[in-house]
Amino acid sequence: MQEFSIAIHGGAGTILKTDLTPEQETAYLRGLDDALKAGYSILEKGGSAVDAVTAAVVSLEDCILFNAGRGSVFTKSGTHEMDASIMDGKTLQAGAVTCVQHVKNPVLLSRTIMENSEHVMLSADGALQFAKEHQLKLENDDYFFSQFRYDQWQLVKNENTAALDHNISSTTFAKATADKEKKFGTVGAVACDASGNLAAATSTGGMTNKNYNRIGDTPIIGSGTYANNQTCAVSCTGHGELFIKAVAAYDVSCLMEYKGCTLQQAMEIVTLDKLVRINGEGGMIGVDAKGNIALVFNSEGMYRGSQKSNGEKLLAIYQ
């Protein structure tokens, strides 16, 4: 049995120690730790990487602090449109969902699509219909309500622009939020199980005040999520449009496959060079088939955690 490991993230961006009270910091670290435990406990019992990333992301979706599932941001019309994806590095099977409403855990819908359909991505009403047919848990709008996210939306809802959590406070129409948390809200997990199989999963509520069914990188296989046993598993968080243009997650795999880069080297090239050159702010987490972990970001911080079977464990927020 080889070394197994898991890594998670809860978003990246301008996250400074001065932005969070000690109580908020403790709450975020607890949320990360709960997700890490949920995924690691599966690996520890000999479970699969797919099961581990699913459990970790479900935990993060259920935590109201993170912009995914329960704590998703508000759209222009005052609803919640959620995106998610999952990929199995052993089979290269993948499932994704975009612009879905009312589904409690979009990552579970993504996995159901991967395992019970011939498709990779479903969207909006069709995705909701699929969820109902497979008896996934649904919730009404009240379940997804967060006062913090609602207050954020109130500051920007009359503007014709969507706002990433991390820069709402820097826009002219939201100066009142200077003391608010500013981050890219996405959650994700990557894992390597005891058999050397890899998996990645990502979930998000998207951008505050987004319009026109805007879709970011999270549900796009190769941009926000990618897993291949021959190289790595990657989950991204950041300015989705730029991560799509960079095909960020798959680019890490390509650098490992074609240039012989290590996981750390490949993620640094993509995150600290390629994305920076196109003003793509954010980060990513990754794991390779030997259980090596990399957590790389070009922003002020990234909610993150990791645990390996050799006893190494990390929970962190700031740079």
The per-residue pLDDT for 286 is 98
Averaged pLDDT for residues 286-312: 97
* Cα–Cα separations (whole angstroms), residue 285 to 77, 133, 293, 295, 297: 32, 33, 8, 5, 9
Residue 173 has what pLDDT?
Answer: 35
Per the structure block, which two tokens stand in for 59?
């935990």
Domain 5-318 CATH assignment equals 3.40.50.2000 = no
Catalytic residues: 186
For residue 3, the 8-state DSSP code is: -
Residue-wise pLDDT for 1-46, tens only, equals 789 999 999 999 878 888 889 999 999 999 999 999 999 999 999 9
Domain boundaries, the chain: 5-318
The reported pLDDT for the residue numbered 165 is 56
Q: pLDDT confidence of 172, banded at 50, 70, 90?
A: very low
Give the range among 129-133, 182-186, 271-275, 303-307 with minimum mean pLDDT.
182-186
If one counts every other C-beta atom within 10 angstroms of the C-beta of residue 136, the result is 18
Which of the residue ranges 83-92, 99-108, 140-149 would you say has the lowest mean pLDDT? 140-149
C-alpha–C-alpha distance, residues 53 and 35, integer Å: 9
Strand order in the sheet with 82-88: 121-123, 94-100, 82-88, 198-204, 187-192, 5-13, 301-308, 313-318
9 contact partners, CB below 8 Å, separation of at least 6:
186, 187, 188, 189, 235, 237, 283, 284, 285, 295, 302, 303, 304, 305
pTM for this prediction = 0.94
CA 72, chain centre distance (Å): 12
Contact 303, 287 (CB under 8 A): no
Helix (H/G/I), strand (E/B), else coil: 124: helix
- The burial of 168, by beta-carbon neighbours within 10 Å (0-12 exposed, 13-18 middle, 19 or more buried), is given as buried
The tokens 């979930």 sit on which residue?
Answer: 203
CA distance 191 to 227: 10
Q: Which residues of 99-129 are buried (b: 16+ CB within 10 A; e: fewer)?
A: bbbbbbbbbbbbbbbbeeeeebbbbeeebbe
